[in-house]
Amino acid sequence: MLCTHRQLACPPQGDGGCRAPTLQGSDGGLCGLREPGLGAQHFRSQGSAFGLTLQSSQPATGPVSGKGEFDGKIGGNYDGKVWASKGDGWETIALVGDDRPLIVSKAIGKAPAYVYLGELIKDGGAAIRPVLARMGERGALLKFAPEDDYMEYVAYRKGAGAWVALFNHGNIVIGCDRLKELRAAAPEPLNTKPRGPYRGEIQFRLERLGLDPKGEFALFEVEGIDGKAFDEVISGAKTFTIKEVPAELKDGAIKAAVSIDKRAQYVIAPKGQGRRCSSESRRAVRAQLF
């Protein structure tokens, strides 16, 4: 089951970092339970949740279609088992064929809850993906154009600014790929072929990062975090440097064109404070690496 929280941006901790967002139900509990989330195990142990009860599972095969807010956004085919369900107030948002609910939704407090009724997640990936994307879009700290599933980021608010690390997993070799020919080719991501640098535009959403969306900020990139420059930093020959990145501040976001080989780090600082933030960021980066 997938729950959204009415405040998807991660709440700040005392050190300026982020903790995982809580999934709060209408009664103030965590999705109506004591656990931070809700899954199929709760239906098995408690019989029902949020007034929804799972019944028997039966095979279902056919095209998948979306309804309501996901009309035209969910597709693909399904071939697996689907749980029948019973409950008041639940809306079907994805169907197998003409009449087999695959994903249902219900407003819980101020946020919707989604339940995937397929027995195995792998069978319903095409249906789950748009739902996850919609949930992620509401709370994303960064937005990518073009979108790329191989991009990962970690963000912290640091004083009056923020620090963001990005990882391009599409260009990072995994495991022993380069050391030995495998007897059997494993699927992604256990066996990867580098896809090259990520090139596109990133929006750093100031309010989601815990910053004033109407504030004046500048964007800086940490040099020495990747490639040959990183080797020189590790060897002690050079140190990290910070350079300002051409960026547009508009509609509560900083927008910048980027090219990321394997990894990158960015610092967002109030205009005029870049030098002080750069010094703090260099110390923070070194503390993480050494």
Q: What is the pLDDT of residues 176-207, one digit of tens each?
A: 555 667 677 666 656 667 889 999 999 999 99
Q: Are residues 169 and 239 in the same domain?
A: yes
Nearest to 167 by CA among 255, 261, 234: 261
Task: Out of 101, 119, 139, pick the residue that ends a domain.
Answer: 139
248 and 113 together in one domain: no
What is the per-residue pLDDT for 122?
Answer: 82
Mean pLDDT of the chain: 78
| CA distance linking residue 198 with residue 148, whole number of Å | 8
The Cα–Cα gap between 125 and 160 comes to 40
Are 146 and 133 in the same domain? Answer: no
Report in angstroms the alpha-carbon separations of 225 from 149, 193, 197, 288. Answer: 22, 22, 15, 12
Top pLDDT among 22 and 200 is at 200
* Contact (Cβ atoms closer than 8 angstroms) between residue 74 and residue 81: no
Residue 9: pLDDT band with limits 50, 70, 90: very low
Q: Tell me, rounded to whole angstroms, the distance of Cα 190 from its chain centroid.
A: 20
How many domains does the structure of the chain reveal?
2
**Residue 105 shares a structural domain with residue 217:** no
Residue 98 phi/psi, 5-degree rounding, is: -100, -20
Q: Are strands 2-3 and 151-158 parallel, antiparallel or unpaired?
A: unpaired
Same-domain check for residues 272 and 184? yes
Q: What is the CATH number of the domain that holds 253?
A: 2.60.40
Q: Are residues 16 and 135 in the same domain?
A: yes
- Does residue 202 contact residue 258 with C-beta atoms inside 8 Å? yes
Domain boundary among 89, 116, 139: 139
Same domain, 155 and 285: yes
Pair 275, 263 in one domain: yes
Last residue of a domain, one of 105, 139, 173: 139
Instruction: Tell me what pLDDT residue 3 has.
Output: 38
- Residue 245 pLDDT > 60: yes
d(CA 103, CA 91): 9
For residues 10 and 20, the answer to whether their CB atoms sit within 8 Å is yes
CB of 218 closer than 8 Å to CB of 269: yes
User: Can you tell me the distance from the alpha carbon of 177 to that of 165, in angstroms, rounded to the nearest whole number?
Assistant: 25
Range of the domain at 244: 142-289
Asked if residue 35 has pLDDT above 60, the reply is no
Which residue is it, tokens 């405040």? 7
Same-domain pairing of 155 and 273: yes
pLDDT at residue number 113: 85
pLDDT band of residue 213 (cuts 50, 70, 90) is: very high
Residue 28: the pLDDT is: 30
Is the four-CA dihedral 223, 15, 151, 254 of positive or negative sign? negative
Token couple for 246: 């051409």
Same domain? 223 vs 255:
yes
> Per mean pLDDT, which range of 31-45, 54-68, 123-137, 218-232 is the poorest?
31-45
Look at residue 7 and give its three-state secondary structure.
coil
Same domain, 114 and 146: no
Question: Each residue of 87-96: pLDDT tens digit?
Answer: 999 999 999 9
Residues 133 and 212 in one domain: no
pLDDT over 80 (residue 16)? no
The predicted model gives 199-226 an average pLDDT of 93
Q: How far apart are CA 121 and CA 190, in angstroms?
A: 19
Query: How far, CA to CA in Å, does 36 sit from each of 23, 33, 103?
Result: 6, 8, 21
Q: What is the mean pLDDT of residues 78-94?
A: 92
pLDDT of 191 reads: 65
Q: Over 70: is that where the pLDDT of 230 sits?
A: yes
Tokens representing 271 are: 């205009």
For the chain, how big is the Rg over CA atoms in Å? 22
Q: How confident is the model at residue 56 (pLDDT cuts 50, 70, 90)?
A: confident
